[in-house]
Amino acid sequence: MGETFIQAGGSAQAMTVEARVMTSDGTARLFTVGRQEPVKGPPTTIWINDRAQVTVSSNEVFTAEEAAVVFLTFYLTDTVAQPYQLREFDLGVGG
C-alpha cells in the first residue's frame, strides 16, 4: 500500500469507511470517516468478517451508495473532502 488509501468494511447496508491521509505535519494517519451531524443513539458494531468487528458512532455508518461518494472523491483528490469529518483511528482499541 502507498502512503494514502481508503477502505471499507461491513455490509452494503451498514459499513465503516476508513482513510489513511497525509496530515498537516506530513505524516500519514488512519482515520474513520463520518458525516458532520450529531451522534444519535448508542455506538454501532460493524462486523468486518467472522472474527473482526469495529464500533463506530451513528454518523460513521454508511450505506454502499453513501460510501461510493466518499471513495470517488478520494480517488480524484487523494483526500476526504467536506462535508465529512475525520476521527483518528485508535489501532489499540476495537475488535
pLDDT tens column, 4-42: 999 999 999 999 999 999 888 989 999 999 999 999 999
**What was the pLDDT predicted at 91?**
62
* φ/ψ of residue 31, rounded to 5: -130, 150
How many of the other CB atoms lie within 10 Å of CB of 1?
A: 7
- pLDDT for residue 93 is more than 60: no
* In the chain, % of residues over pLDDT 90: 75
Residue 5 CA neighbour count, 13 Å, CB half = 5
Secondary-structure breakdown of the chain: helix, strand, coil percentages, each rounded to the nearest 5: 20, 40, 45
Kindly report the pTM of this predicted structure: 0.87
Least Cα distance to 4 among 26, 33, 32, 28 occurs for 28
Question: Where are the alpha helices (H) located in the chain, listed in sequence order?
Answer: 64-77
* pLDDT band at 81; cut points 50, 70, 90: confident
Mean pLDDT of 54-67: 96
**What was the pLDDT predicted at 3?**
87
Q: d(Cα 49, Cα 72) in Å, to the nearest integer? A: 24
Residue with cell 487523494: 78
